Structures are given as structure tokens and as C-alpha cells.
Structure 1
């Protein structure tokens, strides 16, 4: 599971850099500044959670079951949150109206919050030991 999470984290980090560069260069001339800011929000949150997953993969005291739960919540959350933001920000470039999927963004955000919450609960419940951190 550790390798799977690490590979996913690295992939998501790499893709966020690619999308950030794409937004800053290719989309700069076709989107409004507000749309670009929205797009950058998706990129930023994707990168935050790629780094989060790197921590989750390497934090040894975390059980495999909790690691898998956090991983699943984070990956689905990234896909729904950042993915919907990318589509909504570039809505003007397509013939499909992505505004109908706008409700997916807060669902993805909730899943991201839950992934952090599960880690918080795990850390909070650990007995005070210097070796835990």
C-alpha cells in the first residue's frame, strides 16, 4: 500500500505542476483572470493533497486500514474537488455546460476534509510516545 500511495502522490504532484504551467501559459490568453484564479485553486489543492499523501504513505504508526481509508478519501476528494474546478474554470472553452456538476466540488472538499480528520483522529488517539512521531 505504501508504494501505491507514494506513486499516486508523486503522479498527482507532477500533474499539478503540468496543469499549473498549462494554466499560466496556454490558458492565460483564453480565460479571464477570475477563471485562471479558479483553475489555480484546483492546482493548489491538488498539490497540497499530493504532499499530504506523501506524509500518509511514510507515517509508519498509521495502520494499513487507516492508511487505505485516508488514501481513498483523498484521491476521490482530489478527483471531485480539483477535477470539477478544472472543468468549471474552463467551462467557456467547451460546448458542454459543466455548471451542472458544480455540486460535486463541495462533495470533493468534504472528502478531503474527512481524510485530514481521519489522520487527526489517529494522531490524537496515539499514546504519547516519542517514537510515534
Structure 2
């Protein structure tokens, strides 16, 4: 699982930089300002959670494959896919049903942080 989480973290980080640069240079003036802000939010959360997932992978390496850590990593990855992915889709004119997907992705990311908290509480066990 360490290799998978590190790979996903690296992919999220690399694509986050590419998407951020594209947004800054390729979208300005081409999409409405509110959509550009949503896009930037997607990139921002993607980058934060790429680093969080990287940290989870390192913690798994150090503490072992505890259920809470594995859950945290999975929730971070899926949360980014839904949260940031839906914001990117909406920016490029995707279907309106993507709007309700965004908060679902946010809830998954919050769940990832809660699972990481649980892992920390169970550290001494």
C-alpha cells in the first residue's frame, strides 16, 4: 500500500502543478472569474492532499499498515478525485450534477483527516 499511496501522491502533486500553471496562464480571461476561483480551489486542495497522502504513506512505513491509516489514505485520494475533479469539470462546462459531487469529495477529505486522528490516538496500542 505504501507504493500505491506514494505513487498516487506523486501523481496528484505533479498534475496539481500542471493544472495550476494551466489555470494561471491558460484559463485567465477564457472562463468566468467565479469558475477560475473554483478551479484554483480545486488545485489548492489537490496539492494539500497530495502532501497529506505522502505523509500517510510515510506513516504506514513507520507505524505499519494500520486500518485507520489505510482508510485515511483512501479517503484522501478519493476525496481529491471527487472534490477537485468536480471543480475542474464544472470549470470546463461539465454537467450540472457535478456541483453536488464537490461537497461529497470534501466530506471524504474530512473523513481522511478524522481517520488520521484516530490513527494518532491509537498510536500507543
Deviates more, 1:24-33 or 1:110-119: 24-33
Where structure 1 has 5 or more consecutive residues not aligned to the other structure, the ranges are 92-96, 129-133
Query: Using the alignment, how far apart are the partners of 2:64 and 2:48 within structure 1?
Result: 20
Determine the structure 1 residue equivalent to 2:120.
123
82, 85, 88: which is aligned to 1:83?
A: 85
Q: What's the offset of the Cα at 1:121?
A: 1.2
Q: Does 1:108 align with 2:124?
A: no
Q: What's the offset of the Cα at 1:64?
A: 4.0
Aligned length: 123
* Partner SS state of residue 41, structure 1: helix
* Partner SS state of residue 69, structure 1: helix
Q: Compute the RMSD of aligned alpha carbons.
A: 1.6
The answer to whether the Cα contact below 8 Å between 2:86 and 2:101 also exists between their aligned partners in 1 is yes
Determine the structure 1 residue equivalent to 2:43.
43
Moved runs in structure 1, 4+ residues, more than 6 A?
A: none
The answer to whether the Cα contact below 8 Å between 2:69 and 2:115 also exists between their aligned partners in 1 is no
Where structure 2 has 5 or more consecutive residues not aligned to the other structure, the ranges are none
Determine the structure 2 residue equivalent to 1:99.
96
The answer to whether the Cα contact below 8 Å between 2:69 and 2:119 also exists between their aligned partners in 1 is no
Which protein shows a greater Rg?
1
* Partner SS state of residue 30, structure 1: coil
Query: Using the alignment, how far apart are the partners of 1:62 and 1:117 within structure 2?
Result: 18
